[in-house]
Copies of this chain bind each other. A is one copy, B any other.
Amino acid sequence: MATIHDVAKRAGVAPITVSRVINNSGYLSRETRQRVEAAIAELEYVPNRLARSLRSKRTNTLALVLTDITNPFFTTLARGVEDTASDAGYTVIFCNTDESEAEERKYVQVLLQQQVDGILLVPAANTGESIESIQKQNTPLVVLDRRPPPAVAVDTVRCENEAGAYQLVRLLLDLGHRRIGILSGPIGVSTADDRLAGYRRAMREAGISDADQLVVYGSFSQASGYDLMRDLLQTEQRPTAVFAANNLIGIGALKAVQAAGLRVPDDVALVSFDDLPPTLLTFPFFTVAAQPAYDMGRRATELLLSRLRGAAPEHAREIILPVELIVRQSSGQPINRP
C-alpha cells in the first residue's frame, strides 16, 4: 500500500534515492542508505513491479511455453530453464499448451501483452504462427525440442531425433528382429516425424520394405500408447519388437502388453525415446534413447539470455545435441529368426 513516495518522505529523501537503494544503483552514502532501509522496513514497503517495468521496459521475466508439463522429459527440461534463468536474475512463467496450437496462440498473446523479456517455445504444430507473432513484436525467442518451419530464422535447440530412432531400431534389428512396429506420435510434429524417419531408414537399410503396415500414429500420451499397442497386438502377424516414439507411449504400450497377457521382452521387445519418470526409474527396465533434457533447457536459456544482453550474432543459431542409447532389459536378448 505504501509507495516509494511515502518511503521517501519518511526518510527525508527524494523518491529516486529510494529507488537507488532498492536497485543498488548509483552512489549512496552509508547513512542515507540506512535511513531509507529503516523507512522501508517501518512502512513494510513493497515495490510495484508493474510501475517499475513500465518505466524501465524490462520485466526480468522469461516464458517457457511447452506441450505437456506432466511429461517428465519436459519437467526436467523446465528445471534446466528455471535454474539457468534464475541464476541470471530472471523469473520464468510456465505455460502448458496440451499440444493445441490454439492454446499456444492464446498464451503467446498473453505473454506478449505481459511484456516478457523473452520466450522459449516448444511449438505445438509447425504452422509458425506463434513464432511470427513473437518476432513481429521483436521479442527474443528460442525454439526448443522441435524444428521450426523451413525458412524461419530463429535460434533453436533440439536433439538428434532421427539418429536416435535409427539407433534404437538398429539395436532391435541386430537382436534379430524383422517385424518391428512403431508407435508414432502426431503427424506434423517434427520430433514424431524425425523419429519415424529414423525408423524407416533403419528398416530400409535392413532390406525390409513392407514395414509401413506396422507404422501407427497417435499422440504423445500414455493412453495413446496403450490403444496403439493393443491394436498392433491384434494384427494378423503381430510384431516381435516395437519402438515407442516417446516415454509415455512406451509406458502405455507396456501396460497393453501386460493386459494382453503377454510379457516384455519375452513376447514383445520394447524400446522407447526419452527416459522415464523418476517414479518408474528405480526399476531399470526400459531400453531408451535418452535426450539430455536438463541440458537442452540450459543451453536454450543461454541462447536467449545472450540475445537479451545484445551479445548474440545477427544470424539464427542452431544447437543439436546427441541422444544417449541406454540398453536395459525391455529390448531383450538376441532371438532366433523365424
Residues of A within 8 A of B (CB): 1, 44, 46-51, 53-54, 59, 70, 75, 91, 93-94, 109-110, 112-115, 136-138, 222, 226, 248, 251, 255, 277-280, 282-283
Contacts and interface: CB of A to CB of B under 8 A. Distances in A.
A255 B277 contact: no
Contact of A46 (B53, B59, B137, B255): B137
A136 B50 contact: no
A244 B42 CA distance: 46
Contact of A251 (B51, B94, B137, B279): B279
A114 to B, nearest CB: 5
A14 B305 CA distance: 38
23 contacts: A44-B136, A46-B109, A46-B112, A46-B137, A47-B113, A48-B54, A48-B113, A49-B110, A49-B113, A49-B115, A50-B50, A50-B53, A50-B59, A51-B54, A54-B54, A91-B110, A93-B93, A94-B94, A226-B282, A251-B279, A255-B282, A277-B277, A280-B280
Given A93-B93, A279-B251, A50 B54 contact: yes
Q: Output the residue of A114, A255, A277 with the most chain B CB within 10 A.
A: A114
Contacts of A112: 46
A330 to B, nearest CB: 15
A94 B283 CA distance: 31
Question: Taking the full assembly, how many copies of this chain does it contain?
Answer: 2
Contacts of A222: 278-279, 282
Contacts of A93: 93
Nearest to A251: B279
Given A44-B136, A138-B1, A278-B222, A114 B50 contact: yes
Given A50-B53, A94-B94, A279 B277 contact: yes
Nearest to A138: B1
Given A1-B137, A277-B277, 14 more contacts: A1-B138, A44-B137, A46-B109, A46-B112, A46-B137, A47-B113, A48-B54, A48-B113, A51-B54, A70-B278, A93-B93, A222-B282, A255-B282, A277-B279
Contacts of A109: 46
Contacts of A279: 222, 248, 251, 277, 279-280
